Amino acid sequence: MAMEAQYRFEGEGASAALLLSGRYTLARLGSVHDRLFADVRAHPGLVRIDLSEIERIDTVGAWVVGRLVQETGAQVTGASADARTLMEAVAEADQPVRIRPDSASPFVRFVSEVGRAARIIFSEFAQLVAFFGAALVAAVRLLRQPSRIRWHAVIRGFETVGVNALVIIGLMLFLVGIVIAQQGAVQLEQFGLEVFTINLVGRASIRELGLLMAAIMVAGRSGSAFAAQIGTMKLTEEVDAMRTIGVFPMDALVLPRVFATLLMMPLLGFYASICAIIGGGLYCWLGLDIPPLTYVQLLQDIIPMTDFYAMLIKAPVFGIIIAITGCYHGMQVKANAEEVGLRTTAAVVQGIFLVIVLDAFFAVFFSSLGWN
């Protein structure tokens, strides 16, 4: 049995053939390669390359045969099915590689980067909308069968989203209320209208800042936690295990978090607004000598019920957006632990961005209704 790569020439003219035999592998071709190509160039007119006597061929041997075909234009015969498949794969992969990319003008690079970013953004938005649709369908299915709702997970979400956030949200909005009152009083003092600081604090806290700041805090705390928790479960294949045993991840992981955030956001928004009003009232009492009783009485006259209605309409929408965004990015984790961090960051940024965009939309919408 021949071990080395061997070859011989047979026939002349239209019947000229190159017969390859032995093992055409990396270990056996080292001393034959150059001599083979030199002899082929010395025998022009080859019309056939016969591989019927080859004992073994690897990718290097397939590449050599492909080069012989390119140089001579001969037809390959006698190849086994495995050898032919290997040669086809090598020929498909044997393409020129550009070591250095083509140079482009700065304007072209800028436009291409903008286009690439826009494509990614639209793709992410489309996938987020599709995820929201899937969550909506699953929610309708669960509401038709309330016994399937995982109430323990929902109650646990109340604690995570709401109870554990009370301190930080209350402290932050209390300080924000003081800052709004102080900055407003400084400007209104120039006109002798310090009393209108109450209007500024009351309307801003109930209508906009209380709920908006609470939503931003929830997106930073809970939205990131949802993405990190579900993303880690994806990496450890817990989500796949749930599907294997017949548990829908949408029902078990996503909807309890969505329900909890949906129900807690109106309460957190109202709580945050009250904390901001208390902070503003403290400054009005100590800095402007407005008694607390007067402050409360003026607030009752200043704040219309439409501001409460607006807050109660916006709060559930903000909660849904924050929870859906966090869960969506958690479910998109696929590769490694680094992607958990990237998706967590994306969940926070995207959640805050969507909340602010929706808040601007609601501001225009309520203004068109006359809720000013």
The structure's pTM equals: 0.71
Residue with tokens 């992981």: 253
Q: Does one domain contain both 153 and 85? A: no
The span from the CA of 98 to the CA of 112, in Å, is 19
Domain that holds residue 67: 6-93
For 194, the token pair is 């310090």
The verdict on residue 268 lying in a domain is yes
Strands of 68-220 (E only): list them: 75-77
The span from the CA of 339 to the CA of 312, in Å, is 35
Q: Does one domain contain both 131 and 86? A: no
What backbone phi and psi angles, to 5 degrees, belong to 7? -155, 160
Q: Does one domain contain both 134 and 252? A: yes
Q: Does one domain contain both 78 and 158? A: no
Q: Is 289 helix (H, G, I), strand (E, B) or coil?
A: coil
Q: Residue 290 gets which letter from DSSP?
A: -
The HSE-up count of residue 146 (CA atoms within 13 Å, CB side) is 0
pLDDT tens string, the chain, 372 residues long: the values are: 456 788 888 877 667 888 888 888 888 777 787 888 888 888 777 888 888 888 888 888 888 888 888 888 888 888 888 888 888 888 888 777 766 766 778 888 888 889 999 998 899 899 999 999 999 999 999 889 888 888 999 999 999 999 999 999 999 999 999 999 999 998 888 888 888 899 989 989 998 889 999 999 999 999 999 999 999 998 888 998 998 898 888 988 999 999 999 999 999 999 999 999 999 999 999 988 889 999 999 998 888 888 889 999 999 999 999 999 999 999 999 878 888 989 999 999 999 999 999 999 999 999 888 887
For 269, the token pair is 């928004």
Q: Does one domain contain both 221 and 301? A: yes
Q: 43, 69, 93 — which closes off a domain?
A: 93
The span from the CA of 1 to the CA of 357, in Å, is 77
Strands of 210-325 (E only): list them: none
Q: Residue 45's domain is classified under what CATH number? A: 3.30.750.24
The verdict on residue 121 lying in a domain is no
Q: Is 136 helix (H, G, I), strand (E, B) or coil?
A: helix
Q: Does one domain contain both 68 and 175? A: no
**What strands lie across the sheet with 6-10, from one edge to the other?**
6-10, 17-24, 48-57, 75-77
The verdict on residue 102 lying in a domain is no
For 166, the token pair is 């009370």
Q: Does one domain contain both 143 and 70? A: no
The verdict on residue 117 lying in a domain is no
- For every residue of 58-107, DSSP letters joined together read -HHHHHHHHHHHHHH-PEEES--HHHHHHHHHHHHH-----SSPPP--HH
Tally of structural domains, the chain: 2
The verdict on residue 100 lying in a domain is no
Q: Does one domain contain both 71 and 133? A: no
The verdict on residue 120 lying in a domain is no
Q: Residue 251 gets which letter from DSSP?
A: I
CB distance 235 to 331 below 8 Å: no
Q: Does one domain contain both 219 and 292? A: yes
Q: 47, 76, 93 — which closes off a domain?
A: 93
- Going from the C-alpha of 238 to that of each of 88, 189, 229, 241, 242, the distances in angstroms are 40, 61, 11, 5, 6
CB distance 83 to 97 below 8 Å: no
Q: Does one domain contain both 28 and 87? A: yes
The verdict on residue 110 lying in a domain is no
Q: Does one domain contain both 74 and 158? A: no
Q: Does one domain contain both 153 and 41? A: no
The verdict on residue 119 lying in a domain is no
The HSE-up count of residue 293 (CA atoms within 13 Å, CB side) is 0
